[in-house]
């Protein structure tokens, strides 16, 4: 039986301090049936010097450098996937790194019915010092299924876990089948997202196939000052709520799935931030179960208001 071919996409933007370690841990994989697609989004920190050292490497199929920064990471994801020829895709973010058995372990866990598989993640600081094992991130779930390997129906995973929070913490930890990516996945909404696009991306993949997990920590997520998910301003908080609202509205409209407590919490957070919260808060607190049709309209209202 032939071994599956993997397309490794490394999107980089100003990650020169971490780029060499990323490349070393990709090229040093125990599983070697892969191509590497290097993408640079108009870096200004000297990253290109490192990338160009690899342009003639036999594993490199593309090195593409943007003349202008795209402003959205998911545009780079889309570009890389369109260039990919592998059966599987690994988006190996340029500031992260992994163990050398990452690919081998992930692919071993995947069955014919598996569309997505990811490994446990360790958060590290700029120097690589461990900060957090992501098993702590899922400790609110009882049982905490991430304590061991598993495979679940994608729809079950969305309903029980992804509708509570994004339990796939880092794209670098994930391998997925390229066949799951069709022309309906990268919508304009997803391409414009800054904070929750990966969350919506996982929902759209998981609705099609099973998802599997490897409990061994194989991936290292770099938690540094430049990452976009830090919500430290009112504008970022509103953007974050908008994007989560899009995800919850998609799950309700497309999959008929919703988590009432989390949906209500999203609306409460919005009313606290919105300058006209007093006008709407009374109507919000008069909502009673069941929420389904009413909540769908409220979510749409929330999304429209956030866009103003």
pLDDT digits (tens, 9 = 90+) for 247-278: 998 998 899 998 888 877 887 787 777 655 44
Query: With contact defined as beta carbons under 8 Å apart, do 202 and 116 qualify?
Result: yes
CA-CA distance, 134 to 131, in Å (whole number)?
10
In three-state secondary structure terms, 38 is strand
Distance CA 205, CA 93 (A): 19
Rounded CA gap, 88 and 56, in Å? 23
Torsion of CA 17, 20, 22, 25, to 10 degrees: -150
Torsions phi, psi of 127, nearest 5? -90, -5
Domain boundaries, the chain: 6-222, 234-306
**128-140 pLDDT per residue, tens:** 999 999 999 999 9
Alpha helices in the chain (DSSP H): 16-27, 47-52, 73-83, 102-109, 154-157, 188-192, 197-206, 234-255, 260-273, 277-285, 292-306
Task: Classify domain 6-222 at the CATH class level.
Answer: alpha beta
Whole-prediction pTM value?
0.89
Report, as an integer, the average pLDDT of 223-248. 78
């Amino acid at each position: 039986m032939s071994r599956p071919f993997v397309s490794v996409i490394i999107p980089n933007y100003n990650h020169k301090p971490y780029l060499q370690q990323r490349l070393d841990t990709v090229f040093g994989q125990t599983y070697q049936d892969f191509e590497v697609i290097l993408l640079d989004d108009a870096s200004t920190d000297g990253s290109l010097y490192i990338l160009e050292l690899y342009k003639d490497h036999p594993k490199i199929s593309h090195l593409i450098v943007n003349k202008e920064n795209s402003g959205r990471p998911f545009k780079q994801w889309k570009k890389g996937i369109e260039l990919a020829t592998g059966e599987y895709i690994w988006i190996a973010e340029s500031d992260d790194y992994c163990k050398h058995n990452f690919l081998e372990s992930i692919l071993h866990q995947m069955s014919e019915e598996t569309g997505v598989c990811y490994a446990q993640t360790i958060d590290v600081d700029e120097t690589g010092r461990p900060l957090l094992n992501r098993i702590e991130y899922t400790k609110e779930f009882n049982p905490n299924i991430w304590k061991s390997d598993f495979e679940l129906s994608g729809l079950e995973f969305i309903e029980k876990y992804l509708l509570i929070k994004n339990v796939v913490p880092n794209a670098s930890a994930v391998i997925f089948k390229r066949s799951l990516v069709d022309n309906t996945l990268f919508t304009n909404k997803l391409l414009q997202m800054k904070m929750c696009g990966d969350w919506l991306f996982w929902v759209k993949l998981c609705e099609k196939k099973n998802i599997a997990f490897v409990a061994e920590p194989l991936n290292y997520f770099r938690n540094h000052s430049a990452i976009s998910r830090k919500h430290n301003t009112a504008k970022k908080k509103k953007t974050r709520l908008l994007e989560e609202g899009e995800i919850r509205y998609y799950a309700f409209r497309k999959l008929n799935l919703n988590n009432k407590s989390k949906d209500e919490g999203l609306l409460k957070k919005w009313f606290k931030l919105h300058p006209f919260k007093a006008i709407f808060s009374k109507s919000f607190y008069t909502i009673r179960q069941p929420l389904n049709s009413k909540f769908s309209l409220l979510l749409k209202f929330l999304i429209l208001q956030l866009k103003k």
